[in-house]
Amino acid sequence: MRHIVIAWELGGYLGHMFRILPIATRLRDAGYKVSFILGDLSRVEPVIGKMGFDVVQAPVWLPKARKLPDPPVSYAEILQHFGYLSEPGLMGLVKGWRKLFEWMQPDLVLFDYAPTALLASHNLNFPRAIIGTGFFTPPPIHPTPNMRPWVEVSQKRLELADKKVLHVINRVLDQFFPTTKIENLYELFQCEENFFTTFAELDPYAYQRPKDTRYWGPVFSQSTGKQPIWSEGDSKKIFAYLKPEYGNCEAVLQALSESVANTLVFSLNLPQEWVERYQSATIVFSREPFSMSQVMDECDATVCHAGHDTIASALLAERPMLLLPTQLEQILLSKSVEKMGMGIICGIDENASEIQRKFQKLIAGMCSSTSSAGANNNIPNKAKGLSDTNRTRDMNKTIERIVIRCSELVAH
């Protein structure tokens, strides 16, 4: 039986797993053995483990970086926080990944935000494909570009960051392949295939990629999860996906509790005292994920931390969003959604009154059936900027196309 391995290294929470799960399931249905190498096993059991897939722990960088650019402004500076300034540290991770590949004997590896796994797989005898939203696949530009375009960054800083990382990468490669050298950081991401499972409108590098870049369309688990059960009443419905790590999470809960909206809140680790404080006849909490397809069909708006899959799902359903980004990828996605006229951004440092004001703006947009971009300062009720072709894309067909391409890679 041919063996396909899915590797995930960096990033957090469930987005990566929800994106890859329907593809993994379809690959298994097609007769492949599918295994996972994951950076965080603490949250996999309710999602992947219970479905019978083999799962092993990925080699991950544990030390906390000191005196490094924070926040990072380029992909190279992100890598500096994960061992790419330490030759012995990176060597240890690479050896760990290579031993896993040697043990698992894959016929194809899909890499989801796994740069060190990609490095370790260099010159190994199996085809490789990257799968993701584009954020963690920099375009073929040297040096890797500024990821915070609202911040002025010197070319010298970008070049120096790439130079430092490339030096360590090449020192590690030299231990295995003395004749191999990477001249540009983007070469690390050159594979047989790159599955951009997103829309061009959500790719922060879209304008810097080759014109023939293929966007396969978003993929995420739509039906996995329990059925949403809303409290009775005919008020507007809001779906909220919240993380207590967000600095003003309780202020968001307060805003939800003071509204008349019928609200479902999903959170894996929301403090129980908050749940008890804010649950009511109109607010229902759950620690189990809901079926996103059903939630988006039934809700009128969503409140979330701007994870890619939640945003894509809301855009496809044409649902306005209150966005609470907590890290760079989410900030970039939020700005894209705001540009489309489909979202309001709450900064992580905004106080409770500002959050309340923006929440009321979202409610006003929900209640205005004739709103349009710029009208009444409300959120429109139809996606602007997301093409009709993208908005009606069939996710099952996208998954099938990806599975077919994976089969081609395995065969060759």
Nearest to 316 by CA among 195, 403, 198: 198
- pLDDT, one tens digit per residue, over 32-83 is 999 999 998 887 887 787 788 999 999 999 998 788 988 899 999 999 999 9
**147: pLDDT strictly greater than 90:** yes
d(CA 337, CA 332): 9
d(CA 84, CA 169): 7
| Residue type (1 letter), 386 | L
**What pLDDT sits at residue 24?**
94
DSSP characters over 298-312: H-SEEEE---HHHHH
- Confidence at 114, pLDDT banded by 50, 70, 90: very high
**What pLDDT sits at residue 382?**
46
Nearest to 87 by CA among 178, 180, 166: 166
Q: Which of 2-11, 131-140, 347-356 has the lowest mean pLDDT?
A: 347-356
HEC sequence for 148-214: CCCCCCCHHHHHHHHHHHHHHHHHHHHHHCCCCCCCCHHHHHCCCEEEECCCHHHCCCHHHCCCCCC
- The pTM of the full predicted model, rounded to 2 decimals, is 0.87
Return mean pLDDT, the chain: 88
Q: Which of 148-157, 215-224, 310-319, 348-357 has the lowest mean pLDDT?
A: 215-224
- Residue 205: partners with Cβ closer than 8 Å, 6 or more residues away: 134, 137, 138, 139, 145
DSSP3 helix / strand / coil % (the chain, rounded to 5) = 40, 15, 45
- pLDDT, one tens digit per residue, over 294-348 is 999 999 999 999 999 899 989 988 999 999 998 899 999 999 999 988 999 998 8
Cβ–Cβ < 8 Å for 301, 44 = no
Instruction: Please give the domain boundaries of the chain with CATH numbers for all domains.
Output: 3-218+393-411 (3.40.50.2000), 237-390 (3.40.50.2000)
**What pLDDT sits at residue 262?**
92
Q: How far is CA 275 from the centre of its chain?
A: 26
Cβ–Cβ < 8 Å for 2, 109 = no
Burial class (CB in 10 A: 0-12, 13-18, 19+), 367: exposed
- C-alpha neighbours within 13 Å on the C-beta side of residue 405: 19
SS3 38: strand
Burial class (CB in 10 A: 0-12, 13-18, 19+), 401: middle
**What pLDDT sits at residue 205?**
94
